[in-house]
Amino acid sequence: MMTNLSIRRLFLTLAIICCASPIYAQKAGTKYFADSTSGYRFKPLKDWNNIPIKPSLESQGVIARFASAKELNIRLPNNQVGSAPSGLYILRFETTRAATTGGQAGSLRNKVNKQASSSLDSLHKALPSLAPIRDWEGVFEKPHLEAEDEKIRKGLIAQHLIYKGPNQYAIELYIDCWTIPANDYDFCFVYILPDQVKKNKKWFKAFEKSVKSFQFIDQTDAVSKVGQGGSYTEQFEYHKTLAEKVTGWTAHPTPGKKYIIKTSSDDKNFIKDVITRLEQSRAVFEKDFPPSDEMTHVSVVRLCKNRDEFSKYGNTSPGTAGYFNPGSTELVLYDSKNRDRRETLAVMSHEAFHQYCHFLFDQSAAHRWFDEGHGDYYGSFEFKGKKANATAHMPGGLDRFQGIKTLVREETYKPLAQHLNADHPTWQNQGPGNTSCYEQSWSIVYMLRQGALGNLPKKVWKKEYGNIIPNYIKVLNDGFAREYKKIRDGAKEEQKFLDPKKNYKEWERLESFQASPSRWLQVADRDKIWKDAMEASWGQIDLDEFESTWLMFVRKYLK
C-alpha cells in the first residue's frame, strides 16, 4: 500500500539490507547465535541483528539472515550520499561426497573429505536473489578472489572466494563467500559489502573472524512442515516454532482461528488491538462478499516492531506502508507508533482485504479499481464495539479525501471508462500523482457502497447502481471457477496415464496445475473474464451519466 508521501520519499533507495555502521560493523561479536535444527553456531558481527527470512529466500536455501542495526552512508558516483546493501545471508545446501570421516550426524565433524559438490552451482543460482549485481554472469566468470582454501580451525577447511560487480546504481559491491563442508551438506556464508575503498580490509577481517567462530553443534530434529491441511493448532505451533528461530520473534493465535500473528513487538495491548481489528475487518469482508465455499485457509500476518525492521525484511521502498504477498500469502506491516498507530490498523484492513480476495477468487486478481478501491474503503472503517462504520477518511498520510477533491476540482482525474478498464500497470501509472489512482478508485467504491446502504441523496443515486458490484463479483467468480475447473480436470486426466514414481517431474507439474490454476491461466482467458465482468456490471448502466453523477457526489456530498 502506497502512502501520499511516498513520491517524495522515493529518491535513491538502494538498500536491500540496511548498511552497517563503520563504528560497529567492523567488530566481531562476542555472543553466539545458535541454530540447533541446522546444527551450527557462530558469532555475528557486533550489533548485527537477526532478520526474518522471506519465503522466497527460504526456497533458495537461506537459513539465516543478519544486518546491522545502524546504517552506513556511502558516496555515490555523482557525489551524492546514499545507502547500499550490506549484510549476511547463511545458506545450507545438500551435497554428495565420496567419503567422510569424523563423528556421527550432529556431532563435531572436524575432518571432511572435500569432494566435488553441487554447492557452488546452488550458490550461483541463489546469489542474484541476494545482491543486485548488474551482470552476474560476467562476475561469475572473473571472481575478484579466486576460490582458495581457508583454515577455519584444525581439521576444518572452508572454501573462500569473493565476487565484485556494480549494482544498478553503479555502486561496486563485494560478495564475500565462505563455504564450510559438513557430512551431507555445505554451509555458505555470504557477506555483502559496498566498496569502502580504504576500509575494505577491516571489513573483510571482521567477516573472517566471524566465520571462523563457526562450530558444529548437536543437531535437533527440524520442525515438520504443516500445510493448510493441518489443524489450526498444528499450523500455529509450526509457525510459532519458525518465528522463534529469529531472535525476538514469536507468534500469537487469534480467537477466530483464521489468522496467525508473527511479530517482534512486545506490546501486548497493541497486539490485542491488531487482533481485534483484524477479526472485525474479516467479519465485514465476509458480510459484504460471502464466499461461495468455506474459506479454511489460515492467513499469516507479520507485524514488525518498527519501519526499519519492516524495510529490511521486505526490501521495501520508503513509501510502502504494508503489503500482501500473494506468493507466500503473507500480510506484512509494521507498528507505526512513532507516527500514528491508527495508520498500522488502517493499512492492515486494506491489505487484509487483498489477502481475503486472494482466496475468494482462487488466487486470481480483479481490476485495480475494485481491489484498491475496496482496500482503501475498508481501511477507513471505524470500529466501535460491534459497530463497523465506513468513514471518508483514513489517518495521516493514508487519507484519500483531499486528493480526490483536488483531482475533481482541477479536472485532472481520468475518464471513468479509461480508469475502470485499465490493466494493472496502466492503472498504477495513470497520474497525475502516484496516489491519484487510489484516490479515484476509493471515491467510486465509497459512492457505490454508501449508495447501496441508502446513505446518499437521490440526486446522486439510481437503483441500478446498486447492482454494479454484485454483478461484477458474480461474473468474475463464475468465470474463474469455470476456467480453473478446465485446468484441474485436464491435469487429472493426464495423470491417469502417468506413473507418479517413474514420471515424477511431470506428475509434480500437473499437481501444480491443480494447486495453483491461476498460474496456468492464459492471459487471453483472464482478459475475457475481466471483460465479461465489466460488461455485466458497468456495461448495464449509462457510464457517461454515472461519471457526471460521481463528479457531483465528490464536489457536494463527499464529506
Residue among 159, 185, 351 nearest 259 (CA): 351
Give residue 363's pLDDT.
Answer: 87
Residue 100 DSSP label: -
Distance CA 372, CA 350 (A): 8
Distance CA 319, CA 297 (A): 30
Q: How far is CA 68 from the centre of its chain?
A: 21
Cβ atoms of 64 and 35 within 8 Å: the answer is: yes
Q: What integer is the mean pLDDT of 373-399?
A: 94
Question: What cell does 357 get?
Answer: 480476495
Residue among 65, 89, 72 nearest 309 (CA): 65
Give the strands of the sheet with 156-166, arranged side by side.
48-50, 62-68, 87-94, 185-194, 172-181, 156-166, 145-153
Select the more confidently predicted residue: 136 or 105.
Answer: 136
Q: Under CATH, which number does the domain 232-364 receive?
A: 3.40.30.160
Distance CA 151, CA 155 (A): 8
Residue among 442, 353, 415, 444 nearest 4 (CA): 442
Distance CA 413, CA 404 (A): 8
Give residue 224's pLDDT.
Answer: 83
Cβ atoms of 81 and 326 within 8 Å: the answer is: no
pLDDT > 60? residue 11: no
| Backbone φ and ψ of 390, nearest 5° | -75, 140
pLDDT band at 3; cut points 50, 70, 90: low
Cβ atoms of 15 and 309 within 8 Å: the answer is: no
Give residue 253's pLDDT.
Answer: 97
SS3 assignment, position 319: coil
pLDDT > 60? residue 111: no
Q: Under CATH, which number does the domain 14-216 receive?
A: 3.40.1000.10
Distance CA 558, CA 549 (A): 12
Distance CA 98, CA 153 (A): 23
Q: Domain extents for the chain?
A: 14-216, 232-364, 463-540
Give residue 338's pLDDT.
Answer: 87
Tell me the HSE value of 68 on the side-chain side, using a 13 A CA sphere. Answer: 27
SS3 assignment, position 242: helix
Cβ atoms of 361 and 474 within 8 Å: the answer is: no
Question: What cell does 149 get?
Answer: 582454501
Of the given ranges (94-103, 280-289, 372-381), which has the lowest mean pLDDT? 94-103
Give residue 552's pLDDT.
Answer: 98
Give residue 85's pLDDT.
Answer: 62
pLDDT tens profile 255-278: 999 999 999 999 999 999 999 999
Give residue 96's pLDDT.
Answer: 62
pLDDT > 50? residue 550: yes
Distance CA 436, CA 137 (A): 40
At what angle are helices 368-379 and 341-360 packed, to 10 degrees? 140
* CA-derived radius of gyration, the chain: 26
Give residue 107's pLDDT.
Answer: 38
Distance CA 50, CA 12 (A): 25
State how far the alpha carbon of 253 is from the alpha carbons of 262, 263, 298, 325, in Å: 9, 11, 11, 20
| Percent of the chain whose pLDDT exceeds 90 | 69
Question: What cell does 334 get?
Answer: 509494521
Residues facing residue 462 across a β-bridge? none
pTM (2 d.p.): 0.84
pLDDT tens profile 471-509: 999 999 999 999 999 999 999 999 999 999 889 889 999
pLDDT > 60? residue 108: no
